[in-house]
Structures are given as C-alpha cells and as structure tokens.
Structure 1
Amino acid sequence: MIDEDSLRKLQRRNAAILPQLDERQRRLFAASEARAAGRGGIAAVSRVTRIAASTIGRGLKELDAPPPLKRGGVRRPGGGRKSLTETDPGLLDDLNALVEPDTRGDPMSPLRWTCKSLRRLAAELDKLGHKISHTVVGELLKKQKFSLQANSKTREGADNPDRDAQFGVINDAVKTAMAENQPAISVDTKKKELVGDFKNAGREWRKQGDPEEVRVHDFLIKELGRAVPYGIYDLAANTGWVNVGIDNDTAAFAVQTIRRWWQEVGRVRYALARRLVITADGGGSNGSRVRLWKLELQRLADELGVSIEVHHLPPGTSKWNKIEHRLFSFITQNWRAKPLVSYRVIVELISATTTKTGLTVRCELDNNPYPKAIVVSDDEMRSLNIQRADFHGEWNYTITPSTPHLKAVDS
C-alpha cells in the first residue's frame, strides 16, 4: 500500500519526467512505478499520472516480455564514428582524380581509358591506401553532384568565325523575300529509311502484350530497297513538300524535287515570282561545293525564267536549318513505332503529317533513276550565269536564266 510520502514523491517524478516521454515510455514508466509501489500501486499511479489502469497493466506485461529489437539510437550531437572524409583527408582528391582525369590534370590516372564503375573506383582507391566500399564511393559522388550521364550530342565541329554573320545574311534574305511575296524555301534530305518490317523508333498505344513484330536485324531487303525523302519547307506558307526517291540522293534528285514543287505548288502560289530564295545545308546533295547542284539549278532557272538565290548554312550548323525542326521532326513523330513496310506506307504517313500551327505536307513518290558520279566539266562550270556575293561567295550566290525568258500571260 503506497503511503502519503511516496505518493508526493511520485507526483514530483511524474511532473518532471512524464512530459518528456513518448506514449510507450509513459506506459512503461507508469508500470514501473506501480510495480515498485506494491499492492494498490496501479490505482495510485493511475490517479497521479491520469493513465488508465488497463494501460498500466499492458505496460506491466511489456516489462515482463523480452526487450524489442533496437530500432535506432539516440545520439548526442557530434557522437558516433567520424566520416571517412574526416578521417581520410586525401580521399576526395584521389576520388576526383580518378573520376575526372582530364579536368583534374591527371593524364596518368589508372582509369584514364577504362569504365569508371563504383567497384572499380573502390578497388583503385584501395590501391592508393583508402579503405572504402563501392557503396560509400557512390554516396560520396552523389554528395559532390555527380550522376550517371550519357553522352550529349552538342558539338558540331569547329565554329566558322563568320557563322553568326552568315545567319544574319540568311535571315535578311528570307525576310526580304517574304516581304516582297517572293518564294523562300528551306531544303534538305531526310535520313534514308529501309523499306520493310523493320523497327521504327518510338512507342504507340496498343493492347498490352501485343507489340507489333518486326525483324531483329536491320539488313537491306534488296527487293524493297531504301526510301530517300528529300523535303522542301515553304517558310512563308508553313507547308511541306516531300519527294520520296527510290534511287540515289544526288544533286539532280534534289533539284528535281524543287522542280516538281514549283510545277505543282510554287508557280500557283507565287504567280508573280521574280526569284526563288533557297536556304540549304553546306553539304550533301545540295552542298555548296557540289558542281552538279549548281549546274542543275542553272537548268532550272532557265526553265522557270526566275533567278535562284541560294544561301548555305555555315559548316556544322545543319540542325538550325528550318526544315529540320519545322517539317522533318513532325514527320518523325507522326510515323513513330510504325514499320515502313512499303513506299506507299511512307508516302501516306508523310502526307498525313500535320500540326496545331497549321502545317500541311504533300508527298509523292519519285521512281526515276539518279545515277552517281556524274562529272561536271570546267567548261560547263564556266557557262553558269552565276553571281557570287561579296561576303562568302561560296555560300551566297544567285543563278540567273542564261537567256531572257518570256512568261505566258493569260488573255
């Protein structure tokens, strides 16, 4: 039986200790006090602590049970084992030298030419006298803002010192043409595509577990061949024209695409055109150094009776060609995950490409042969009626008709 003096001591302990405890600790404290008080202890402790007698009884059972597994310790600030970076001051420097031998000025790093996995980094650090596991290596790298990263395609070769100036020339030429209602087009060849049941990048919605089956290996099917899409993007009208060839990507094929676009669309849309402005990459079938490109453009200028003004993008800047991100990128999105099993499928998928901003595309198949290795003689080059600009005449030039051309006027 608890006496009055013990009761007052219990009240003082309760006031000092109980507010500092969590629920389980309060229960165990009350049970411990009740057991120490003896007979009538549960009732007395319940009155003082305002903890239910049943709860104190549950605490007594817990006191008799085996102690639970430790879930975590309570440690004073600064307690516990020191981190490796504190006990091993040279660890981070050696780790950084292994991970970044180029930037750290360590060309003799043992991992200069090998894969830098966490286990290999840990093994090399061990050779340098650092006792560390691969998991801790990963933690240290994360703390220093390292992460697993793939290569990023951003470099396009050395910048030409006149690159920005050339972009200014192209921009001015296009703006002037559009202000005068003269046609301005961006041209290029899209990536060649194998025709057949081959994997096409991307995903589309299908029934779960029912992917479209395609070939494992991407080997040319000779009977089906390759598709060569050459595109034209009308900068003012936001429309595209794609000529899908089945032979070689040559300058003759490129100019024939421009010819077909003009005959079907251009001459109607730009009935009063005096010149045609073309922006093109510096390489490929429409490259600035390709003789056949210029010869074919001369023939086209003679046929159409309009001057053809050409502006090439500087070397290494093909991704800035308007046709890449205003036409080709949407074609790629439209046919994602769809095997290009035939030329008809390719033509239909390209023709069905549209955007919310109003892009429409017309596509046709070109069955004509375009042989390679056509030699353009010096005499043919001298016969060109070409005027080169003062600024980078190899990039900026105008080809005018060789003879005056009289356009028919409707009566």
Structure 2
Amino acid sequence: MKAEVKTQTAGSPVRDGEVWTNIGLRVIASAIQPLGFQLSPGVIASILRKTLKLGRRKISKDVPLGSSEHRNEQFERLSELRRKYEQRGWPVLSVDTKKKELIGDFARSGRAWTDGSLHAFDHDFGSYSSDQKAIPYGVYDTVANEAFVYLATGADTGELAADAVRRYWYRMGQSRYSGVGGF
C-alpha cells in the first residue's frame, strides 16, 4: 500500500520525516484492487495509522505573524472604551466577514428538497463564475446582543465593510440608539 500512496505523498520542507498524503481511502481501495487486494476504507485507514504512522490532522492556525510590545495596552484601551460606550448607552459593534462564495452553478454542501435533479460544475474554478462572489458581512451589536447580516457582491473592500455598518445603522441601530448621532 505504501507504493499506492507514494505518488500522492509530500513531505515537510522544514520538518524532516514529516509526510502527508491527500489521497482518499476509497481511491486507495480502487488502486489496490487490480493487485488482488480488496480492503474496506476502515481497514485502509488502520494500515495508514499503524503501519505508515499517518494520522488525520487538521491544520492549526497558530503561527504568529508578528507581535507588538504594546499588545496588552491596546486591549486594555479597547476594554476601557467599551465600558465607557456601554455606560453612555452607545453601541459597541463587532464587524466580521466570512468565506466568499462563487456565484454560479457550483456544488454546495447540504441537500435540497426538489422534484428534479440538481447539477453543478465538476470543478469550482472561479473562471466559470459570473465574475462575482457573494460576500457576507456580519455586524454584531454587543450591547443589544443583536446581529445584522449584509450579503453583497463585488470586491471585498474597506468601503464594503463601512457600507455594512451604515446599513446596520439605518435598519437597526438608529432606532435603538436614538440619542447617538448618525452617518
């Protein structure tokens, strides 16, 4: 089985002896079948774990890009401002965007109720999209414990983030915080 995963195995350029493979268990099962072996994906997983010492891992985002000697002071200042805003009855907003999604006939996770069949491109190449992406922005009001979701298309820019906050304000914020100035 080592030969079957060899062409799909890569090594770490910075850690000697660390390898991984991106080949699936069912693909391995199909590859070894002509050799006279018929193994279930579970048995193949066991061989990969015990014999080849490979394990399923998820990447960890834990490598810092840098640090600041004033980092703690920054967070203390933010906490101080948050307390002051909350005491005055002002909004405290958290703005975040999530994964952009291609618009077009692309596969999506999940299932849908239909009386027909659903079809999508066999690859999610951006060149097959309508040249736009759906960009979700969330504006969370931590004081009111309410959220506003803004779904836009186009490019993810600073203007788009500001527009999400502005739209939150006109649709939800200004009625809740009538004593606070607007945009």
Which residue of the partner structure matches residue 106 of structure 2?
A: 198
SS at match of 1:255: helix
Which residue of the partner structure matches residue 178 of structure 2?
A: 271
Which residue of the partner structure matches residue 228 of structure 1?
A: 135
**2:104, 2:130 within 8 Å by CA — same for their partners in 1?**
no
Q: Which runs of 5+ in 2 are unaligned?
A: 1-13, 22-46
**2:151 aligned to 244, 249, 261, which one?**
244
**2:124 aligned to 213, 218, 226, which one?**
218
Code of the residue aligned with 1:235 in structure 2: it is: T
Q: Which runs of 5+ in 1 are unaligned?
A: 1-106, 118-134, 275-303, 306-411
Q: Which has more radius of gyration?
A: 1
> In the alignment, does 2:71 pair up with 1:163?
yes
- Which protein is richer in strand relative to its size? 2
Note the aligned Cα RMSD (angstroms): 3.8
Per-residue Cα deviation, 1:204-248 (whole angstroms, up to 9, x for no partner)? 698xxxx96543211234437211222211111122222222222
| CA-CA distance at 1:271 after TM superposition | 0.5
Identity level (%): 29
Which residue of the partner structure matches residue 88 of structure 2?
A: 180
| CA-CA distance at 1:114 after TM superposition | 6.5
SS at match of 1:167: helix
> In the alignment, does 2:25 pair up with 1:115?
no
In structure 2, how many angstroms separate the alpha carbons of the residues matched to 1:239 and 1:178?
15
Which shows bigger deviation, 261-270 or 147-156? 147-156
**1:243, 1:257 within 8 Å by CA — same for their partners in 2?**
yes
SS at match of 2:19: coil
SS at match of 1:154: coil
Code of the residue aligned with 1:215 in structure 2: it is: F
Per-residue Cα deviation, 1:173-194 (whole angstroms, up to 9, x for no partner)? 2222122210110113322111
TM value normalised by structure 2: 0.60
SS at match of 1:252: helix
Code of the residue aligned with 1:219 in structure 2: it is: F
- Which protein is richer in helix relative to its size? 1
SS at match of 2:155: coil
Code of the residue aligned with 1:148 in structure 2: it is: G
In structure 2, how many angstroms separate the alpha carbons of the residues matched to 1:212 and 1:187?
34
In structure 2, how many angstroms separate the alpha carbons of the residues matched to 1:255 and 1:170?
20
TM value normalised by structure 1: 0.29
In structure 2, how many angstroms separate the alpha carbons of the residues matched to 1:216 and 1:204?
17
Code of the residue aligned with 1:271 in structure 2: it is: S
In structure 1, how many angstroms separate the alpha carbons of the residues matched to 2:95 and 2:161?
8
Which residue of the partner structure matches residue 254 of structure 1?
A: 161
In structure 1, how many angstroms separate the alpha carbons of the residues matched to 2:20 and 2:125?
34
In structure 2, how many angstroms separate the alpha carbons of the residues matched to 1:149 and 1:200?
24
